[in-house]
Structure 1
Amino acid sequence: MPKSRSRHGAKPEVSPGRATLAAACASLVGIGLARFAYAPLLPAIIGAHWFAPSAAAYLGAANLVGYLAGALLTRPMASRLPAPALLRGFMLLASIAFFACSVPVSLVWFFVWRLLSGIAGGGLMVLAAPTVLPWIPQSRRGVASGVIFAGIGIGIAASGTIVPLLLQQNLALAWDGLGLLALVLTAVAWRGWPARSAPAPTLAARAKIPAHSPLPTTRLRALYVQYALNAAGLVPHMLFLVDYVARGLGQGLDSGAQYWVLFGLGAIIGPVLTGHLADRTGFGPALRLAFFIQAGAVILPALGTGTAGLILSSLVMGAFTPGIVPLVLGRVHELLAHHPSAQKQAWSTATTAFALLQAGGAYGLTYLLTATGGDYRLLFVIGACAFALGLGIDLVVGVSLSRRRFA
């Protein structure tokens, strides 16, 4: 069977399907495992007396700081090094970090390796999808993006099932097991990256681009702020869901891990569903619906809705944790359809904004949790406010630009 061609007629060195698989493995390793496997490990780290509860929570946030650094550093690095080499290097770094964390030498040692794993995750987020998506036909990019970022959900679900099993042996083995899994996924992705960038648009394609089409600066800036607020809204579930169930509700680690599996199951299907929705409705309307649903789902644990509310909240927030990514990436491409050369830089900026408020939110909410003596419900209320503000900004900017257009 001949390999698929891009919309410009060029044939990539690997099939689009294999390249999509490589990018999915990258999101699985860099985000799904390197970041989210820490949540079910957190109560065990505290229980094994590796670190005090406050220190263990801050170590979780170290990964988010690294993610910010990775988002900032990757674009300059990509201008000097081939994308496949960087992607392989980031996946190897994330894998090695797991093995390093199996030995709690000191708080500094652990912090550095959690930071490095975050750098790897940020780099993979910035680079993997943009390296692959130009080779995917335009009509299938929403679904392809969903498949790529479903790797995050697979990692979450895997961590929720594999980690408790490994913890039955010991905590160090859990870290080593995750490292081995990451190495296997790195090997699967190794030869799946296109060796060169997608070709520039043909003269015929360029002729369709308006000669003096202005950049949609206002909408882009609003999108960066919305994506950052979305990041803050995700923090309560990302970092504290398992700990809230296990220690806050007193239901134990096994029960907390079960909700984390639900979170992961939602995360597996979420990106594919949101990508499919966006292919049908457009990315703008899909993004507004996402903010509305998340605002309602994140606050359910704070309302005391019991088991049913926790199940629904875990599934929905799990779905949108990676599901928001293809929506924002697609919205960037949608807004810059007439400026293809600006798309990668805009996505890098969006990822940086996301990482900045996610890291700030992680440290801020960790401090707040400690200062309030463990008031988890307040964290979920703050998350709902972040999503509501993101939706409000989208609506205000849309109305303002419409009035200006018809004035």
Structure 2
Amino acid sequence: MKALSRDPATLAIGGLCALAAAMGIGRFVYTPILPFMTEGLNLPADEAGLIAAANFLGYLSGALAGASRFLSGSPRMWFLGGLLVSALTSAAMALTTALFAFLAIRFLSGVASAFVLVFSTTLILERLNAAGRGGLSALHFAGVGCGIAFSAILVASLAHAGTDWRGLWLASGAATFVLLVLAAFLVPGKDTSLLNPSNEATTSAVNSYETTISYLEPGLVRLILAYGLFGFGYVITATFVSTIARTTPALQPAEPFVWLTVGLFAVPSIYIWNKVSNSLGARRAFALASVIEAAGVALTVIGQAPSVFLLGAALLGGTFMGMTALGLMEGRRLASAGGPEAIRRMLAILTASFGIGQVIGPWFAGYLHNLTGSFDGASLAAAVALLVAAALAVR
């Protein structure tokens, strides 16, 4: 174990396993499983949207709780505990059919995924930076896309073999547990220091979710609004894209591949958009990604050919993780004149704005689907929101 602790690449792979489990599976596996739940339970779209919203509300709550100065202890203990809860809550989805139980379970799953993101990132980035290998953080964050791609393959393979929605949730829980074991082995218990807000790596990874800021200049306000619109704009398609494919006869051949496409294109996205940001600046890169993502969201409802639909999924996967990082980078830059406290408060507000957009999006899409019988209106509204976000970002 001591040898592993001296290998930065091994640590980054351990972080990849953690994010693949908690984010790629625990947070996002609901998307490919949802069509099977809809068929097996006759689940209305508005209830499906509420279940998704509960998970995103849990994620926001977990991010805020994870940043608390009163929540001390080993980051390794917290992120491994979060992985265990993520595995258990995924499996628990197979044990009930009650809407209230689904809401409670997915809320807890959201809290767990946030804890894994906050605390694993705290630990991994601290050790990578100390080793002078901060660039390997891209490998750590690639875990989200890897987990999405893996969950897509897992669900499609088991569904093809005749597994129902309950079996898909149980398999997801089992896969999360396996990744928990791998992460525990690859990220040893060295340097189990308390969270320290003065530490640079901890500050950037954990204290991004603190308090409020008392004064905001117009440029910051526009960025906050843009980031919230981004949360709303991406999450509708990210929640219902597999359901759209399954319920649209012309798109059904694309269903087994749509979520896999999102995941595969998400894997290198942060690395790519960091390069774009170095050339254009974070704000312009964010605006460009918003426009590209708007096109992808629109293609998932405008295009009735599987190839066009998959192109939309690819554009979504290739942008949403990069935009998440770009918005926080720009917020950090704009608030830097106020010092560390202003930066932390700014990132906290951006996270809250993004979280609110994520919570509203699935509920809005489900409600509109009940009125119109289609996700077209909600998806086009999401595309418009992304274009407005781009306009706000470049002003």
TM tier, shorter chain? 0.7 to 0.9
Change (3 A) 1:348 1:216: closer
Please say if residues 71 and 352 of structure 1, whose CA atoms lie closer than 8 Å, have aligned partners that are also in contact. Answer: no
Question: How far, CA to CA, are the matches of 2:279 and 2:128 in structure 1?
Answer: 17
CA distance in 2, matches of 1:301, 1:255: 11
Cα distance per residue 1:131-164 (max 9 Å; x no partner):
43355459975x5443333211111111211112
- The aligned counterpart of 2:96 is 104
Summarize the Cα distance change of 1:94–1:244 in structure 2 as closer, same or farther, 3 Å threshold.
same
Larger radius of gyration: 1
Q: In structure 1, what is the Cα distance between the partners aligned to 2:304 and 2:157?
A: 29
* Counterpart position of 2:76: 84
Given the alignment of the two structures, is residue 170 of structure 1 paired with residue 164 of structure 2, yes or no? yes
In the aligned structure 1, how far is the partner of 2:110 from the partner of 2:65?
12
Q: Give distance in 2, aligned partners of 1:100 and 1:260.
A: 23
Asked if 1 retains the 8 angstrom alpha-carbon contact of 2:142 and 2:268, the reply is: yes
3-state SS of the aligned residue for 1:48? helix
What amino acid maps onto 2:85 in structure 1? L
Asked if residue 290 in structure 1 is aligned to residue 289 in structure 2, the reply is: yes
Return the offset for 1:93. Answer: 1.0
- Note if 1:181 corresponds to 2:175: yes
Tell me the residue number matched to 2:241.
241
Contact map agreement 2:48 2:366 (CA 8 A) in 1 = no
> What amino acid maps onto 1:231 in structure 2?
G
1:1-400 → structure 2 map (5 Å cutoff): 15-49=7-41, 51-76=43-68, 79-137=71-129, 144-167=136-159, 168-190=162-184, 191-192=187-188, 195-196=192-193, 200=199, 218-249=218-249, 251-252=251-252, 255-304=254-303, 306-336=305-335, 339-340=339-340, 342-374=342-374, 376-396=375-395
Deviations 1:15-50 (A, max 9, x none): 543443333333222221122211111111122227
Q: Partner of 1:34: helix, strand, or coil?
A: helix
Paired residue secondary structure (2:72): coil
Are the structure 2 counterparts of residues 352 and 13 from structure 1 closer, same or farther at C-alpha, using a change threshold of 3 Å? farther
Render the CA deviation track for 1:260-280: whole Å, top value 9, x for unaligned: 211121112222211333345
Instruction: Tell me if structure 2 keeps the 8 A contact 1:229–1:354.
Output: yes
Q: What CA deviation, in whole Å up to 9, does each residue of 1:286-342 have, x standing for no partner?
A: 222212222222212333363332121110101112222222333344345563455
For the 8 Å contact 1:147–1:271, the answer to whether it is kept is no
**Which segments of 5 or more consecutive residues in structure 2 lack a partner in the other structure?**
201-214
Q: Distance in 2 between matches of 1:60 and 1:20?
A: 29
Asked if 1 retains the 8 angstrom alpha-carbon contact of 2:283 and 2:393, the reply is no
Relative distance call for 1:82 and 1:345 in structure 2 (3 A) is: farther
Q: What is the CA–CA distance in structure 2 between the aligned matches of 1:242 and 1:171, rounded to whole Å?
A: 14
Structure-2 separation of matches of 1:364 and 1:173? 29
2:293 and 2:320 in contact (8 A); partners too:
no
Rounded to whole Å, the distance in 2 between the matches of 1:313 and 1:182 is 28
Change (3 A) 1:79 1:59: closer
Q: Distance in 1 between matches of 2:316 and 2:188?
A: 30
- Counterpart contact for 2:264–2:317, Cα < 8 Å: yes
CA 183–25 in structure 1, closer or farther in 2 if over 3 Å, else same: same
Distance 1:363 1:309, change over 3 A: same
- Relative to the length of structure 1, the TM-score reads 0.80
Q: 1:130 to 1:325 in 2, by over 3 A?
A: farther
Residue 270 to residue 63, structure 1, CA distance change in 2 (3 Å): same
Q: Aligned partners of 2:109, 2:103: CA distance in 1, in Å?
A: 10
The code of the aligned residue for 1:129 comes to T
CA distance in 2, matches of 1:235, 1:329: 18
In the TM superposition, what is the alpha-carbon distance from 1:366 to its structure 2 partner?
1.2
**Residues 246-272 of structure 1: per-residue CA shift (max 9 Å, x gap):** 1034544x6312122111211122222
Distance 1:301 1:120 in 2: 30
Between the two proteins, what is the percent identity of the paired residues? 23
Q: Is the 8 A contact 2:284 2:393 kept in 1?
A: no
The AA in structure 2 aligned to 1:268 is V
- Could you tell me whether the CA contact under 8 Å between 2:258 and 2:310 is conserved in 1? yes
Aligned CA RMSD, in angstroms, stands at: 3.0
Q: 1:222 to 1:146 in 2, by over 3 A?
A: farther
Deviation at 1:172, TM superposition (A): 2.4
Structure 2 length-normalised TM: 0.83
Q: Matched residues in 2 for 1:149 and 1:15: separation? A: 18
**Residue type at the aligned position of 1:170:** D
CA distance in 1, matches of 2:217, 2:7: 35
Query: Are the counterparts in 1 of residues 295 and 315 from structure 2 also a CA contact under 8 Å?
Result: no
Q: Structure 1: which amino acid aligns with 2:177?
A: L
- Structure 1: gaps (5+ residues): 4-11, 202-214, 397-407
